[in-house]
C-alpha cells in the first residue's frame, strides 16, 4: 500500500472514531458524584458534548435537575435489572418537561375521538409463528429518525408501518414524509399529538404519501404545502386495528409486518434507557407512538419486542428499545398492546415517482 493509501485508511479511521465518539453518551464514575463541584464539572462536560448553552440563571436551575437525573441513573444502574440507563441528551429535563415536549397525547386524542373503530384482523389465522422476527434484517425499516421537540410521534409511528408494508409488497424501501402528516392531516393536531389510525386514513384518502426528500421534516407545525402533498409516492388501501389487550394477536401482526403501537413513555427510566430488555415501571396512560418491528428471546429466555423510537439514534440501542413481552397484564408492558394498528396494502401498485422523488 502506498503512502496515499495509508493516509486514506488513517483518515477513514479518524472519521469513524469521530462519528462513534459523537454518538457515545457521557460516562461518569463515583468520583463525579462525590460533590456538587464534581457534579457541576460533569454537567459542563455534558453541555459541551451536546452543545447545550444556558444563561447563568437557567444553568443553576438545570444543574439541580441534571443532578437528580444523574443520581437516579446511577441508582438504577446499581440494581440487578435487565436494562441500563445513560446520560443522554435529555439529562437536564424533568420527567414532566420531557413528557410535555415529546409526547403525543394519544390517550387524550382517543378520548376526543371516541372508542376504537371495529375493523377486521387479516392476520387472525396466522399460525406457526417464527420464534423471532426482525424486519430490519429484511430491509423493511428505514434509519432511526428524530421528532425533535414536537409531539409528532404519531406521524413517525404511522410512517414506519407504511414504509414497512410498502417494502414487503413492492421490494422498495422509501423514506416517507412525517411532515406532510403534521402539516396536512387535519384530524390530528400536528405537534400537539394525534392517532396513527387517522394518519393511515389520510394517506388512503389522499392517494398516498410523498417522500421525506420532497417534504422534509422541520419539527414544527406548518402550513400544508399542497404542491408537495400532491406528489404521492406510496399508497395504501386502508388500515386495521389489532384486537386490543392481546399480545398474542400483536405477535401475529408483527410476524407479517411492522406495527404501529402506543405506549406510556412517562418516567425517567424510559427517558434515559440505554440498553437491555426494559421491564421497568410504567402505566397505561398512552402518550407516545412507536412501532414494533420484531420480537425475540434473549439467551436467558426473556421475551421481548423490538421497538423503533423517534428520539434519534443516540437514544437507547441505536434508537431502539427492547421491551419485555408476555407480561402479566394483558395490555402488555406500558400498554403496548392497547392501541396497535397497521396499514393494509393489497397490491404492488404505487403512483409512478420521478427519480427526484425517491
Per residue in 310-330, pLDDT (tens digit) is 999 999 999 999 999 987 778
Categorise residue 221: left if φ over 0, alpha if ψ from -120 to 50, beta otherwise: beta
Can you give the pLDDT at residue 41?
95
Contact 333, 290 (CB under 8 A): no
Residue 111: pLDDT band with limits 50, 70, 90? low
- pLDDT value, residue 118: 82
For the chain, the C-alpha Rg in angstroms (whole number) is 21
Contact by Cβ (8 Å): 223, 329: no
Q: Which residues of 338-353 are buried (b: 16+ CB within 10 A; e: fewer)?
A: bbbbbbbbeeeebeeb
Angle at 288 between CA 25 and CA 345, to 5 degrees: 110
What are the residue numbers of the active site? Answer: 153, 288, 309
Q: Give the SS3 label for residue 185.
A: coil
CB 277 within 8 A of CB 258: no
Give the three cell numbers for residue 259. 406495527
Cell of 68: 437528580
Are the C-beta atoms of 182 and 160 separated by less than 8 Å? no
**pLDDT confidence of residue 20:** 38
Residue percentage of the chain with pLDDT more than 90: 77
More confident residue, 230 or 169: 169
Of 58-62, 213-217, 263-267, 326-330, the poorest mean pLDDT is in 326-330
Asked if pLDDT for residue 355 goes beyond 70, the answer is: no
Residue at grid coordinates 392497547:
338
Query: Whole-model pTM?
Result: 0.90
Confidence band for 100, pLDDT divided at 50, 70 and 90: confident
**Residue 356 pLDDT > 60:** no
The whole-number average pLDDT for the span 102-124 is 78
- Of 18-32, 309-323, 333-347, the one with minimum mean pLDDT is 18-32
CB-CB contact of 146 with 178 (8 Å): no
What pLDDT score was predicted for residue 167? 98
Q: Which three cell numbers stand for residue 233?
A: 409516492
**What is the per-residue pLDDT across 153-165, written as a single tens digit (0 to 9) for each?**
999 999 999 999 9
- Mean pLDDT, the chain, as a whole number? 89
Which has the closest alpha carbon to 60: 89, 84, 92? 92
CA nearest to 339, candidates 104, 48, 71, 97: 104
CA atoms within 13 A on the CB side of 268: 19
For the chain, list the domains and their CATH numbers. 3-80 (no CATH), 99-357 (3.90.70.10)
Check whether 13 has a pLDDT greater than 50.
Answer: no
- Rounded CA-CA distance 331/296 in Å is 18
Q: What is the pLDDT of residue 354?
A: 56
Task: Kindly report the backbone phi and psi dihedral angles of residue 263, in degrees, each rounded to the nearest multiple of 5, phi listed first.
Answer: -135, 165
Amino acid at each position: 500500500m502506498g503512502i496515499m493509501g495509508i493516509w486514506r485508511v488513517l483518515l477513514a479511521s479518524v472519521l469513524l472514531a469521530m462519528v462513534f465518539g459523537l454518538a457515545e453518551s457521557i460516562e461518569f464514575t463515583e468520583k463525579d458524584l462525590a460533590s456538587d463541584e464534581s457534579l457541576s464539572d460533569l454537567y459542563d462536560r455534558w453541555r459541551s458534548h451536546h452543545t447545550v448553552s444556558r444563561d447563568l440563571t437557567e444553568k443553576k436551575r438545570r444543574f439541580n435537575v441534571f443532578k437528580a437525573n444523574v443520581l437516579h441513573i446511577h441508582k438504577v444502574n446499581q440494581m440487578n435489572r435487565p436494562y441500563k440507563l445513560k446520560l443522554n441528551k435529555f439529562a437536564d429535563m424533568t420527567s414532566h418537561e420531557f413528557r410535555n415536549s415529546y409526547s403525543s397525547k394519544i390517550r387524550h386524542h382517543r378520548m376526543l375521538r371516541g372508542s376504537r373503530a371495529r375493523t377486521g384482523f387479516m392476520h387472525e389465522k396466522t399460525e406457526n409463528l417464527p420464534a423471532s422476527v426482525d424486519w430490519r434484517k429484511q430491509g423493511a425499516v428505514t434509519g432511526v429518525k428524530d421528532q425533535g421537540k414536537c409531539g409528532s410521534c404519531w406521524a413517525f409511528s404511522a410512517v414506519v408501518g407504511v414504509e414497512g408494508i410498502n417494502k414487503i409488497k413492492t421490494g422498495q424501501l422509501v423514506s416517507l414524509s412525517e411532515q406532510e402528516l403534521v402539516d396536512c392531516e387535519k384530524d390530528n393536531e400536528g405537534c400537539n399529538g394525534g392517532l396513527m389510525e387517522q394518519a393511515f386514513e389520510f394517506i388512503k384518502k389522499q392517494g398516498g404519501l410523498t417522500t421525506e426528500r420532497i417534504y422534509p421534516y422541520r419539527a414544527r407545525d406548518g402550513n400544508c404545502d399542497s404542491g408537495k402533498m400532491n406528489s404521492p409516492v406510496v399508497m395504501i388501501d386502508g388500515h386495521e386495528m389489532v384486537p386490543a389487550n392481546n399480545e398474542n394477536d400483536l405477535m401475529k401482526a408483527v410476524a407479517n409486518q411492522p406495527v404501529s403501537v402506543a405506549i406510556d413513555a412517562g418516567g425517567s427510566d424510559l427517558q434515559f434507557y440505554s440498553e437491555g430488555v426494559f421491564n421497568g415501571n410504567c402505566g397505561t396512560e398512552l402518550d407516545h407512538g412507536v412501532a414494533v418491528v420484531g420480537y425475540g428471546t434473549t439467551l436467558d429466555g426473556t421475551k421481548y419486542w423490538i421497538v423503533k423510537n423517534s428520539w434519534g439514534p443516540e437514544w437507547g440501542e441505536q434508537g431502539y428499545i427492547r421491551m419485555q413481552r408476555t407480561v402479566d397484564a394483558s395490555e402488555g408492558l406500558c400498554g403496548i398492546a392497547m392501541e396497535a394498528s397497521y396499514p393494509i396494502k393489497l397490491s404492488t401498485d404505487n403512483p409512478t415517482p420521478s427519480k427526484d422523488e425517491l
